[in-house]
Amino acid sequence: MPEYPSLLLENAVNELSRLPGIGRKTAMRLALFLLRQDPVRTDALSKALTGLREGIHYCERCHNISDQQRCAICSNPRRDENTLCIVEDMRDVMAIERTAAYNGLYHVLGGVINPIEGIGPGDLTIAHLIERMQHEQINEVILALPPTVEGDTTSFYLHRQLSRPSLRLTTIAKGVAIGDTLEFADEVTLGRSITNRVLFEKVL
Amino acid sequence: MPEYPSLLLENAVNELSRLPGIGRKTAMRLALFLLRQDPVRTDALSKALTGLREGIHYCERCHNISDQQRCAICSNPRRDENTLCIVEDMRDVMAIERTAAYNGLYHVLGGVINPIEGIGPGDLTIAHLIERMQHEQINEVILALPPTVEGDTTSFYLHRQLSRPSLRLTTIAKGVAIGDTLEFADEVTLGRSITNRVLFEKVL
């Protein structure tokens, strides 16, 4: 007797367990859950996944995920077209949008430079970013990449590629999180918070 | 601007997050993972899930999941047809099969009696079990239900329903797990291990 009583079940468990963070036991739990639900639910899930994979577009301007050629941000005339925020992926766009603290445009790199995983500048949307910088009237570029070695490497690379006298090149502030206790902040973060201290009157 | 940059993405996240143990952040991670993979992968996943939901059978005899009318265990002539092991769901069948310690047949209840979740005897395959007991030549019934209040309630209910002089009605042994240290076993389990102690010569 094979380990699984049904080839259909085995096939579903195999496919589910290819997803990140889902092992064979979880995959089995998900498959049995779907079996207990109405078939309409499984159908809706399958259609949603296939629909996403086949129908998705990436904004031709900023590479954000979009249902149209241009995303809602790039086609919004009220956004500040002279400021460009550079992020790793579309989740960062959503996170920054939720803060309501930014009104410029974005450029989604699709990753960060990571030699260990074999991701170089050519695998990201950096060539298109450089082209955008030539055609669009950008006064400020904000580097909003993750505070990791890879993020910092990418920021440094972009700094070298994009620097020109007329451009204000900034990076998001890194330091102690609002509501954190200093005691429990890690030393690197707390150290940066002190090194990059700002005039008190500026935060008033 | 809506929170999600794409309705297709939002739809996929909604459907994925209906699965147990998958919140919206995990659903988003899964959706973005599929977007990075070849479309063939998403297609294979969708087809496997729909195929499972639409094509699955339950064995007409033991209610185990099967691709045929009768499962591989019920249609295997080498299995002992006089012994019946009663389990909660098909995962337990797989677990017991892996031990290679059992050669009889199964009966899958499809759950255990759980008044809080509104699951009564009528929601399980108990009526069919009683019918099987009348038509098949069963000498021993092994209750292999989970060692929980619900599992014990179900065992007690089945004991009352199935008891007859000619039937050997047993339950799987509960006690300290092999390899466990007594120090870290919970008191209830350790207590049961002592109460239900067996003659040493029997385990030699």
Query: A-B interface: how many C-beta pairs under 8 angstroms?
Result: 171
User: At what angle are helices A39-55 and B24-36 packed, to 10 degrees?
Assistant: 50
Q: Burial code of A180-204, b = ≥16 C-beta within 10 A, e = fewer?
A: eeeeebeeeebebbeeeeeeeeeee
Domain ranges of chain A: 7-55, 80-172
Query: What single string gives the DSSP state of each residue in chain B?
Result: --SSS-HHHHHHHHHHTTSTT--HHHHHHHHHHHHHS-HHHHHHHHHHHHHHHHH-EE-TTT--EESSSS-TTTT-TTSEEEEEEEESSHHHHHHHHHHT---EEEEE-SS--BGGGTB-GGGTTHHHHHHHHHHS--SEEEE---SSHHHHHHHHHHHHHH--TT-EEEE---SSPTT--GGGS-HHHHHHHHHT---HHHH-
> In this complex, is the C-beta atom of A139 within 8 Å of any C-beta atom belonging to chain B?
no
> DSSP label at A178?
T
C-beta of residue B174 within 8 angstroms of C-beta of residue B148: no
Nearest chain B residue to A22, by CA: B30
Domains A7-55 and A80-172 share a fold: no
- Inter-chain residue contact B9 with A45, CB threshold 8 Å: no
Return the SS3 of A81.
strand
Within 8 A of A14 by CB-CB distance, chain B residues are 48
Per-residue tens of pLDDT for chain A, all 204 residues: 457 888 999 999 999 999 999 999 999 999 999 998 899 999 999 999 999 999 888 999 999 999 888 999 999 999 999 999 999 998 899 888 888 889 999 999 999 999 999 999 999 999 999 999 999 999 999 999 988 899 999 999 999 999 888 899 988 888 878 777 777 778 888 888 787 777 767 666
What is the pLDDT confidence band of residue B204, given thresholds at 50, 70 and 90? low
Domain A80-172 has CATH 3.20.10.10: no
> In this complex, is the C-beta atom of B95 within 8 Å of any C-beta atom belonging to chain A?
no
Can you give the pTM of this predicted structure? 0.75
- pLDDT tens digit sequence for A45-71: 999 999 999 988 899 999 999 988 899
ipTM of the complex: 0.77
In sequence order, which ranges of chain A are alpha helices (DSSP H)? Answer: 7-16, 24-36, 39-55, 90-99, 126-135, 149-162, 187-195, 200-203
- Given this structure, which CATH class describes domain A7-55? mainly alpha
